[in-house]
């Protein structure tokens, strides 16, 4: 039985829209930070003795998520594969806008690929040959087919995903040690999100009058963010990231019916971050498909940002992380 770990990633230039729903190809590129201290650990065991796939998430049977997990295993191990036992553990809230599907599917493809190789007597040679030859990019593409953002968690540090007509390319723009950014997460609600992000993206494309200009402007924002990363220009990265986040949420809000992931705590945290910025602090916000606020800052003001957000009304918990590495196998596998 193999085990892999992956960290979630936080997008600064967001993925919101699909060019091909059946292949789950994103409409545009995105740029993200892979975290260090939040993780999903995933075990997979294939066996000819199993008569169906079974999924346990934090020790509980997870029937609703199983079909998506099974389809991902089919892509890695082939449609004729033996059935599998999948066990997932996560050290942060799931499906609450903290990118749990990114770390889950990144870990799943890595561990499933290894589990094929470890159970070589029950796989066909072609499946084993494919598993043996896969690069990190190949695994990222398999993860992205399950969950677009998961492709980015195969890589560490600051990561760019480039989208073309028929595939994605993913790579590390800057390794984690080259720019020690910090991410403070203000959790304003632990519950599951009201609308799954994949469904909400499709709704946005169908109904938001702002969707096409959102997609058209992504290349520009990516170019500005890429240049800010290369020159470690915090203020430039802050400006383009906040604007990109607010544009994405504007697309969500102007969908029909509107998709609103924020709550009162989200707005209060944004206001607190604006106050910190007015006082000269290098910090900026970003929010995803959930009400949590992620504040990006630097090591020297991380404690202040944590204290400030921790005192905001509606904040239930504070987590913090530096930038970490891409998905990998753990030693016990």
Q: Nearest Cα to 333, choosing from 82, 47, 43? A: 43
Q: Which of residues 9-28 bind ligand 2P0 (CB under 6 A)?
A: 11, 14-16, 24
Q: How far is the CB of 81 from ligand 2P0 (least distance, A)?
A: 22
Residue from 113, 149, 241, 281 touching ligand 2P0 (CB under 6 A): that is 149
83 vs 260 by CB, closer to ligand 2P0: 260
Q: How far is the CB of 173 from ligand 2P0 (least distance, A)?
A: 15
101 binds ligand 2P0 (CB under 6 A): yes
Q: In sequence order, what are the residues at sequence separation of 6 or more whose Cβ sits closer than 8 angstroms to the Cβ of residue 88?
A: 40, 41, 42, 43, 55, 56, 57, 58, 62, 104, 107, 108
Residue from 147, 176, 208, 320 touching ligand 2P0 (CB under 6 A): that is 147
**Among the candidate windows 46-54, 130-138, 142-150, 168-176, which touches ligand 2P0 by CB under 6 A?**
142-150
Residue from 197, 208, 255, 308 touching ligand 2P0 (CB under 6 A): that is 197
149 vs 281 by CB, closer to ligand 2P0: 149
148 vs 326 by CB, closer to ligand 2P0: 148
**Among the candidate windows 113-121, 122-130, 147-155, 173-181, which touches ligand 2P0 by CB under 6 A?**
147-155
Residue from 30, 40, 218, 266 touching ligand 2P0 (CB under 6 A): that is 30
Q: Binding mask 46-85 vs ligand 2P0 (x if CB under 6 A, - otherwise)? A: ----------------------------------------
Q: How far is the CB of 13 from ligand 2P0 (least distance, A)?
A: 8
| Residue with smallest beta-carbon separation from ligand 2P0 | 198
Q: How far is the CB of 198 from ligand 2P0 (least distance, A)?
A: 3
Q: How far is the CB of 106 from ligand 2P0 (least distance, A)?
A: 10
3-class secondary structure per residue, the chain:
CEEEEECCEEEEECCCCEEECCCCEECCCEEEEEECCCCEEEEEEEECCCCCCEEEECCEECCCCHHHHHHHHHHHHCCCCCEEEEEEEECCCCCCCCCHHHHHHHHHHHHHHHHHHHCHHHCCHHHHHHHHHCCHHHHHHHHHHHCHHHHHHHCCCEEEEEECCCCEEEEEEECHHHCCCEEEEEECCCCCCCCCHHHHHHHHHHHCCCHHHHHHCHHHHHHHHHHHHHCCCHHHHHHHHHHHHHHHHHHHHCCCCCCCCCCHHHHHHHHHHHHHHHCCCCCEEECCCCCCEEEEECHHHHHHHHHHHHCCCCCCEEEEECECCCCEECCCC
Hunting for tokens 């398999």 — which residue is that? 142
Residue from 6, 170, 289, 319 touching ligand 2P0 (CB under 6 A): that is 289
Rounded to an integer, what is the distance from CA 42 to the centroid of its chain? Answer: 16
Residue from 78, 198, 314, 322 touching ligand 2P0 (CB under 6 A): that is 198
18 vs 45 by CB, closer to ligand 2P0: 18
**275 and 305 in contact (C-beta within 8 Å)?**
no
Residue 125 Cα distances to 73, 131, 136, angstroms: 17, 10, 21
Q: Binding mask 175-194 vs ligand 2P0 (x if CB under 6 A, - otherwise)? A: --------------------
Residue count, binding to ligand 2P0 (CB under 6 A): 15
Q: Which residues bind ligand 2P0 (CB under 6 A)?
A: 11, 14-16, 24, 30, 99, 101, 147-149, 197-198, 288-289
């Amino acid at each position: 039985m193999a085990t892999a770990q992956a960290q979630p990633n936080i997008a600064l230039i967001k993925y919101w829209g699909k060019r091909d729903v059946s292949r789950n190809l994103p409409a545009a590129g995105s740029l993200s930070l892979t975290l260090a201290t939040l993780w999903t650990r995933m075990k997979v065991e294939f066996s000819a003795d199993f008569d169906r796939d079974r999924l346990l998430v934090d020790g509980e049977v997870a029937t609703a998520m199983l079909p998506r997990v099974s389809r991902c295993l089919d892509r890695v191990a082939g449609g004729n594969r033996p059935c599998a036992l999948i066990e997932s553990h996560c050290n942060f809230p799931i499906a609450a806008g903290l990118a749990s599907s990114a770390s889950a599917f990144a870990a799943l493809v890595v561990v499933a690929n290894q589990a094929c190789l470890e159970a070589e007597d029950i796989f066909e040679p072609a499946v084993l040959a494919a598993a043996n030859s896969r690069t990190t990019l190949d695994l990222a593409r398999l993860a992205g087919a399950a969950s677009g953002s998961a492709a980015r968690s195969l890589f560490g540090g600051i990561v760019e995903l480039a989208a073309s007509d028929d595939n994605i390319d993913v790579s590390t723009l800057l390794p984690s040690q080259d720019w020690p950014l910090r991410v403070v997460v203000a959790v304003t609600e632990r519950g599951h999100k009201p609308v799954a992000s994949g469904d909400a993206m499709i709704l946005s494309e169908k109904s938001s009058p702002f969707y096409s200009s959102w997609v058209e402007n992504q290349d520009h924002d990516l170019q500005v963010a890429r240049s800010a990363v290369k020159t470690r220009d915090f203020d430039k990265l802050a400006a383009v990231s906040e604007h990109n986040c607010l544009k994405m949420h504007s697309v969500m809000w102007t969908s029909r019916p509107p998709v609103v992931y924020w709550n009162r705590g989200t707005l209060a945290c944004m206001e607190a971050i604006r106050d910190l910025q007015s006082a000269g602090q290098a910090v900026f916000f970003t929010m995803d498909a959930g009400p949590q606020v992620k504040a990006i800052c630097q090591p020297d003001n991380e404690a202040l940002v944590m204290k400030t957000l921790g005192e905001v009304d509606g904040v239930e918990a504070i987590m913090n992380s530096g930038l970490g590495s891409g998905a990998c196998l753990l030693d016990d596998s």
